[in-house]
Amino acid sequence: MKYEKLAKDIIQNIGGKENVNSLTHCITRLRFKLKDASKANTDVLKNMDGVVTVVQSGGQYQIVIGNHVPEVYAEVAAAGGFQTASEETSDEKVGLLNRFIDIISGVFTPTLGVLSATGMIKGFTALFLSLGLLTSTSGTYQILNAIGDCLFYFFPIFLGYTSAKKFNANIFIGMGIGATLVYPTFSSITAAGQPLYTLFSGTVIESPVYLTFLGIPVILMSYSSSVIPIIISTYVSSKIESFFKKMIPSVVRTFLVPFFTLLVIVPLALIFIGPIATWAGQLLGAGTLSIYNLSPVIAGTLLGAFWQVFVIFGLHWGFVPIAINNMVVLKYDPILAGVFGASFAQTGVVLAILLKTRNIKLKSLSVPAFISGIFGVTEPAIYGITLPRKKPFILSCIAAAVGGGIIGIMGTKGYIMGGLGIFGIPSYISPGGIDSGFYGAIIGIIVSFVLGFLLMFFGGFKDDEVKAENKEGGRTDVLVKQETVISPLKGNVIALTEVKDEAFSTGALGKGVAIEPAEGKVYSPVDGVLTNVFPSGHAIGITSVNGVEILIHVGKDTVKLKGKYFTPKVKQGEHVKKGDLLLEFDMNAIKEAGFILTTPVIVANSGNYLDVIETEKKIISINEDLLTVVI
- The residues annotated with a catalytic role in the active site are 26, 553
207 forms beta bridges with 199
SS (H, E, C) 565-592: CEEECCCCCCEECCCCEEEEECHHHHHH
CB within 8 Å of 431: residues ≥ 6 apart: 126, 331, 415
Q: How far apart are CA 385 and CA 369, in angstroms?
A: 8
Contact 412, 340 (CB under 8 A): yes
Between the CA atoms of 172, 87, 95 and 24, what dihedral angle is there, to the nearest 10 degrees? -80
Written as one letter, the residue type at 192 is A
Helices (H) and strands (E) in the chain, counts: 21, 24
CB within 8 Å of 13: residues ≥ 6 apart: 40, 41, 44, 45, 48
Q: How far apart are CA 223 and CA 184, in angstroms?
A: 11
**The total number of residues written for the chain in this structure:** 631
Greatest Cα pair distance, the chain, in angstroms, is 95
CA dist list (Å): 189 to 178, 208, 214, 265, 274:
18, 12, 18, 22, 17
The Cβ-side half-sphere exposure at 63, using a 13 Å CA radius, reads: 33
Contact 456, 392 (CB under 8 A): yes
Q: Terminus-to-terminus CA distance in the chain, angstroms?
A: 32
CA dist list (Å): 621 to 42, 58, 315, 521, 576:
33, 46, 48, 11, 19
Q: How far apart are CA 155 and CA 266, in angstroms?
A: 17
For residue 124, the 8-state DSSP code is H
Nearest alpha-carbon partner for 509 in 582, 587, 612: 612
Contact 37, 56 (CB under 8 A): yes
Query: Residue 185 class from Cβ within 10 Å (0-12 exposed, 13-18 middle, 19+ buried)?
Result: exposed
Alpha-carbon dihedral sign for residues 87, 92, 96, 101: negative
CA dist list (Å): 357 to 57, 269, 343, 346, 452:
32, 59, 21, 16, 16
Sheet holding 482-486, edge to edge: 482-486, 625-630, 611-614
Q: How far apart are CA 299 and CA 338, in angstroms?
A: 7
CB within 8 Å of 289: residues ≥ 6 apart: 326, 330, 334
Between the CA atoms of 131, 134, 137 and 143, what dihedral angle is there, to the nearest 10 degrees? -120
